Structure 1
Amino acid sequence: MKLKEIVESTSTPRTLESLVLDLKKFDIDYDDTVIVHVSQSSIGWILGGTETLYKAILKVIGPLGTIVVPTQTMDNSDPKDWVAPAVPESWHQEIRDLMPAYDKKTTKTRSMGSFSEYIRVHPDSERSSHPQVSFAAIGFHAKKIVKKHELTPKFGMDTPLGAIYRLGGAKILMIGTDMTTCTGLHLSEALSENFKEKEISSCAMIVDNKRKWVSYEDKNYNSDAFSVIYDEYKKKVNITEGFVGSGSTKVLDFNNLIDFGKSFYDKLKIK
């Protein structure tokens, strides 16, 4: 959405105070770890932009809280799989040979939104080491959450998602986004022995202090069932839905949702 359209669709400016009041209507507590998925344009015009939204969330969770965001870099992948946009086949090998290796300090996110990118570059941010599906975090548990991120399974228990699950009590804050963006549910896929379909991923990364093009096998994660899982989940759990600014918002209990998602996959007939 263009800035002009955002302004025209906003009745009054969204301020730090108004965003804090909106956020406090949801099940977010002081000291919470919060995984944030947000389409900032859905909120309306924010006075101070992304920085104000960050400060509003921080004010609600306090100095012992933690903000976590996905900072994926899926453009660091095999060009034969690219569709948005595709590139000529004659380019493929050169891309594989020269793609810069993932650097958690400098590699930008791709299609993660302005809030995730804001957290990534924040001076207090910590980021995990996965070359394709990293997470960044700010706050009390940030270092513990991003400390370990195995190459494969990339969404398993030896990752930031697993660390969040072990901590317990985390919340998922979704503003203006649908369930296909709920990265946490990939942990449900990773934990389900019934979800077995595999794929080969490739990327540029640093191995033994040298840039290498690496291929690895992992589960074929996808978000196709996430909306169905949520529809079934909310039949059993009382979820508060409302708005932050104009952005349709919900807050979910991380561990409960992951456990429900795993049971959902366990019951399916999946290859």
Structure 2
Amino acid sequence: MDEAALLKKSDGPVTRSRLVRDLTALGLGHGDVAMFHTRMSAVGYVAGGARTVIDALRDVVGEPGTLMVTCGWNDALPYDFTDWPQAWQDALRAEHPAYDVELSESDHDYGRLPEALRLRPGAVRSRHPDAGFAALGAAATTLMADHPWNDPHGADSPLARLVALGGRVLLLGAPLDSLTLLHHAEALAEAPGKRFVDHEQPILADGKRVWRRFHDIDSSEGAFDYSSVVPEGQDPFEAIAQDMLTAGMGRRGTVGAAESHLFEAAEVVDFGVAWIEEGLGRPR
């Protein structure tokens, strides 16, 4: 969408002060620990782009608050690279760069904001190459420290700590299926047929490049087969989030030109676990 169209969509420039007013009206507040997902094109023409959005969010949560994003790693190897021809595998094992919390780019599929936030002075990025996060603010180190290598969406993960700190999740123009916190609900839920993945990535250990194996729920294809409870063509996370809204959870509002939502992290996880276990059944 070109600039003129974005300006028209948002009825003029979306400035830092306008974002602060809209975010405050939505319910985001001073001292909040907030994980956020953003679709910039939905917000409209943001004067200053990603920098302005982060500045506005920091204005609202203030010095005691913390912002958190999903980062991942844009150059992570696909899980199935071990099925490639042996010569290809050998070349990758010899020279594929290691994940570096300082240098490795965030996954481009998550948009501009994660990379912009992780590059901010004072930002802390978690050590996990595939399921990594970044945070900025008072609780950043608490959220990111010692991200478990295995079960990185489960107990003691940054997502679990977000819940423990009374955190919130902001969808700033982002679709409901971007509610990454529901991966934590998947990790906790006890239902039949839970899918896991084991994969390898090169990381830095004491400054040296080493290969490490990781074990996690299948957050790419889905930890469960939801086909019996979710209509074909609908994302399971969207279905869960829609049911949450129907149940009266979360707040809706407009930020810039974007329909936005604000959820309580603990409610998301509790509802998500119950929804999965009731819909798919508990294992016998």
TM surpasses 0.5: yes
Shift of 1:270: 8.2
Report SS of the residue matched to 1:24: helix
1:236 partnered with 2:234: no
Structure 2 partner of 1:163: 161
Deviation by residue 1:160-186 (Cα, 9 ceiling, x = unmatched): 111112212x11110121122211111
After the TM superposition, which residues 64-213 of structure 1 pair with which residues of structure 2 at under 5 Å, given as runs? 64-73=64-73, 75-78=75-78, 80=80, 91-110=88-107, 111-168=109-166, 170-194=167-191, 196-207=194-205, 209-213=207-211
Q: Which is further off, 87-96 or 67-76?
A: 87-96
Closer, same or farther: CA 231–10 of 1 in aligned 2, 3 Å: closer
Structure 2 partner of 1:42: 42
**Aligned mates of 1:89, 1:242 — CA distance in 2:** 53
Deviation by residue 1:202-228 (Cα, 9 ceiling, x = unmatched): 211124543123233322225542111
Structure 1 partner of 2:229: none
Shift of 1:4: 5.7
Q: Percent identity?
A: 27
TM-score between the two structures when normalised by the length of structure 2: 0.85
Report SS of the residue matched to 1:174: strand
1:32 partnered with 2:29: no
Shift of 1:240: 2.4
1:260 partnered with 2:271: yes
**Aligned mates of 2:47, 2:85 — CA distance in 1:** 43
**Aligned mates of 2:93, 2:8 — CA distance in 1:** 44
Closer, same or farther: CA 6–91 of 1 in aligned 2, 3 Å: farther
Q: Which is further off, 220-229 or 178-187?
A: 220-229
After the TM superposition, which residues 42-61 of structure 1 pair with which residues of structure 2 at under 5 Å, given as runs? 42-61=42-61
The one-letter amino acid of 2:188's match is L
Closer, same or farther: CA 2–95 of 1 in aligned 2, 3 Å: farther
**Aligned mates of 1:175, 1:27 — CA distance in 2:** 12
**Aligned mates of 2:201, 2:65 — CA distance in 1:** 33
Q: 5+ unaligned residues in a row in structure 1: which ranges? A: none
Shift of 1:137: 0.7
Report SS of the residue matched to 2:134: strand
State the aligned residue count. 266
Shift of 1:190: 0.8
Contact 1:172 1:253 in 2 (8 A): yes
Contact 1:78 1:203 in 2 (8 A): no
**Aligned mates of 2:237, 2:123 — CA distance in 1:** 28
Shift of 1:10: 4.0
Shift of 1:136: 0.7
Closer, same or farther: CA 214–2 of 1 in aligned 2, 3 Å: farther
TM-score between the two structures when normalised by the length of structure 1: 0.89
Shift of 1:81: 5.7
